[in-house]
Chain A
Amino acid sequence: MPFKTLRPSKAVIFFVVLLTLFSVAVSAFASTESTAPIVENSNVAWWVWPLVLFVVTFVLGILAVLGGVGGGVLFVPIIGGFFPFNIDFVRGAGLLVALAGALAAGPGLLKRNLASLRLALPVALIASTAAIGGAMIGLALSPNLVNTLLGATILFIVIIMGTAKKSDFPNVPKPDNLAQSLGIMGIYREESLGKDVEWTVHKTPQGLALFIVIGIMAGMFGLGAGWANVPVLNLLMGAPLKISVATSKFLLSITDTSAAWIYLNQGAVLPMIVVPSIVGIMLGSMVGVKILVKAKPKAIKWMVIGLLLFAGLRSLLKGLEIWK
């Protein structure tokens, strides 16, 4: 594997080159969108599309791991912004991409007691119910409005990623009444400290209220909601960072399931988009985990933020019909 021998700086250069190639390739295909009324589309062999989608999602899978974000949040704005597929199908695929990633990671996180069922179950109930509403709203809105709101959301995520602080072990002086009655607490082994860490949460009602908003946004835009789950679980409710990240990832397997069913039942799922994307993201994530050992996470985090900024602006301007 050539990746194993890459030095951090070379890895960054490698990704910049890869991204440039990716942008050129995507732009070439994106141009067919503007020529959609002409039957020139049929000149592109059908197999080119799943292949390009696979390559792009493979790269996104690598970047998602290195940037510490879920695949869905990169997938929807980039595929929606630069591929000729309708945003309905892209959102349906985005949910299934995020779902597949969560299903793959979930079992390991649960077994290692990093993802907590006691924390996830109440949150999932709120978020998955809201995600159904979000999916229904999203499918009823016009594509331009969806793109505009999606672009604004992605730009908001960029701000969150760029500014939000994280706390490894937030101080929770006392669990609130709801957390206490639900018994939301646990113990996990923190290998970096070589000791067991006991945790609980507070401000549970406020946290659950925010998950209504998160669920609606996840369903409406087909985004995995890790970007919002983690800050709420970690910074507001006070769960340790590892527990927050792991529970958030597992949580997506429930939140995205409910919204995915709405898209599936409304016929907003095209296997030609879904399957190469799922396989591409999953394989990319595996490679990403290997590169993570060598790469500079900070540099890549900023690269991902730059990519999201670009994709968010593209969605926003597409929705406003400024950049069609």
Chain B
Amino acid sequence: MSNERTKASEEQIIYANILNKGMWFGLILLIITFIIYITGVLPSYVPIEELAKTPAGSTVPYWSMRAHEFNQAFNIPTGWGWTALAGKGDYMNFIGIAILAGLSVVCYIAILPILIRKKETPYVIIAIVEIAILALAASGILKTGGH
């Protein structure tokens, strides 16, 4: 049996609880929106049946194109531009994906006050820098070159 010594720390438990609830919420939402997508309840921005088709002037079907070519072909916005399309069957799935991808930041923000209270200065700094890094990655500011 576990005792006090082997118990997880307060911040670890809080982190785990948020991760658990957020994971189920995001996953269930993802499955629901995917069903909406494939059943065609809502129209898609890029119809699902189009993905396997080879457009005129191309040698490969849409899903074999590089991401930037695909975006160009359908005039898809990058960064958070997808939020403008979130009412469409396909881009509605991005809500669940963004929730799953955003969970870690939420967990870090939640444990930050505990780390501060415990005067865990190195971990406070690590947590703040990690929040900044994840926020930077999520911001859409960082672009890849070569396109």
Contact = CB atoms under 8 A, between A and B. Distances in A.
A108 B101 CA distance: 19
B31 to A, nearest CB: 7
Interface stretch (A5-13, A16-24, A265-273, A295-303): A265-273
Given A111-B8, A264-B101, A275 B52 contact: no
B16 A88 contact: no
Nearest to A99: B100
User: For this complex, into which size category does the number of interface residues on chain A fall?
Assistant: 35 or more
Interface string B133-147: 110111110111111
Greatest chain A CB density within 10 A among B22, B48, B65 is at: B48
A125 B11 CA distance: 17
Given A121-B123, A189-B2, A272-B51, A128 B64 contact: no
B71 A110 contact: no
Contacts, number: 220
User: For this complex, into which size category does the number of interface residues on chain B fall?
Assistant: 35 or more
Contacts of A259: 137
B64 A132 contact: no
A270 B65 CA distance: 12
A41 B52 contact: yes
Contact of A110 (B2, B15, B90): B15
B100 A96 contact: yes
Main secondary structure of the interface of A (DSSP, over half): helix
A55 to B, nearest CB: 16
Given A264-B98, A274-B97, A188 B144 contact: no
Contact of A129 (B60, B64, B93, B133): B133
B16 A279 contact: no
Contacts of B122: 181-182
A76 to B, nearest CB: 15
Contact of B51 (A108, A111, A270): A270
B13 interface: yes
A50 B76 CA distance: 22
Contact of A136 (B31, B134, B142): B142
Given A47-B38, A117-B12, A266-B78, A258 B31 contact: no
27 contacts: A41-B53, A41-B54, A42-B49, A49-B51, A86-B65, A89-B63, A96-B101, A100-B100, A107-B19, A111-B13, A113-B2, A113-B12, A118-B9, A122-B126, A132-B137, A139-B67, A182-B123, A189-B2, A261-B138, A265-B139, A266-B68, A267-B71, A267-B76, A269-B94, A269-B97, A275-B34, A276-B34
Given A46-B48, A106-B19, 15 more contacts: A41-B52, A86-B63, A103-B22, A106-B16, A124-B130, A125-B129, A128-B130, A182-B122, A189-B6, A257-B103, A267-B70, A271-B33, A271-B93, A271-B94, A275-B93
